[in-house]
Amino acid sequence: MKTLKSGVKSSEVYYLNELLAKLNYSVVVSDYFGVATDKAVQDFQLKNNLVVDGIVGLKTWSALMEKSAAGFLSNPKLLSEQNLIDFSNHHTIELAIVKAVNLVESNGKGFLLDGRPKILFEGHVFWRELEQRGIHCENYVNANTENILFRKFTRKYYVGGAAEYVRLEKSIHLNPDKSFTDAANCAASWGLFQIMGFNAVSIGYQNIDEFVQKMDLNEGEHLKAFGLFLEKKKLITVLRNKNWAEFALKYNGEGYKTNRYDEKLKNAYLKFSS
């Protein structure tokens, strides 16, 4: 694992925050090493007879993984080299391109430490999905639902990691009607490539239930879903032609320029193709 410190933003930091959260530290499970993460790391170091410097190096990583008993490195659900080769052959895309997209777009790993697929719940999408099913959302708006049901997009209720399942399950239990379960699952993004559930039927799944079941299996299924999504959005040819800017725009939106997704994809491709 990489050495991490305050201010770093990476997939390794996401994993670090997962470990800290599992050890009951109050951190938001995200890819940013902020003040809360720094405070938690120093507290962990103090309690485990480590140098208290807030830097997560080999010794701190070792202690964290030992204390949390995380089986990340041996997880059979993780993506394999053969998965990428099969994807490359199936879609007739150069393997180096597939590896570049996987490196830049997958954000680390698709499963939580407890074995469930990584999700992010979107309350504004839940609102939209309920309305499409004829549900009057206003009837369910109150202080208890403000973090799961709202009209406009906001990041303020993101909690990351396993805590996102608390929001999902809260949404499902809002009403025993199956419409609420389906709407809630459609309002979450799933797995390694964070495909939104509402795409399930349009990209080839029988229903949202089948999609969720597949996402629970392994990262190979996450990659298949990503391929179906690329086909639906007509992005396969864009990738074959290595048009990084167009791909980044259509997959990530206008914000790709700020995050330099196109440059990251190009550099990753050059790395793998060499």
* 18-47 per-position pLDDT tens digit: 999 999 999 999 999 999 999 999 999 999
Name the percent of the chain lying above pLDDT 70. 97
Of 9, 8, 15, 96, which Cα lies nearest the Cα of 55?
8
3-class DSSP state of 117: strand
pLDDT value of residue 51: 87
pLDDT greater than 90 at residue 253: no
How many other β-carbons are positioned within 10 Å of the β-carbon of residue 146?
Answer: 12
Q: pLDDT category, 109, cuts 50, 70, 90?
A: confident
pLDDT at 75: 61
- List the single range of 62-76, 133-147, 201-215 with lowest mean pLDDT: 62-76
Q: Six-digit token pair at 35?
A: 């003040």
Which of the residue ranges 108-112, 171-175, 221-225, 242-246 would you say has the lowest mean pLDDT? 108-112
- Of residues 41 and 65, the one with the higher pLDDT is 41
Question: What's the chain's average pLDDT?
Answer: 92
In angstroms, rounded to a whole number, what is the distance separating the alpha carbons of residues 223 and 102? 9
- Percent of the chain exceeding pLDDT 90 equals 80
At 13 the pLDDT is 94
How far is residue 35's CA from residue 26's CA, in Å, rounded to a whole number?
11
Q: How confident is the model at residue 134 (pLDDT cuts 50, 70, 90)?
A: very high
Q: What is the DSSP string of 18-69?
A: HHHHHTT-----SSB--HHHHHHHHHHHHHTT---SS-B-HHHHHHHHHHHT
In the 8-state DSSP scheme, what is residue 4? B
Residue position matching structure tokens 């330099």 = 260
At residue 66, the pLDDT reads: 86
pLDDT at 132 over 80: yes
Mean of the pLDDT values across residues 185-201? Answer: 96
CATH architecture, domain defined by 11-74:
Orthogonal Bundle (1.10)
In this predicted model, which residue has the larger pLDDT, 231 or 259?
231
Is the pLDDT at 70 greater than 70? The verdict is: no
Please tell me the pTM assigned to this model: 0.79
- Kindly tell me if the per-residue pLDDT of 258 is higher than 90: no
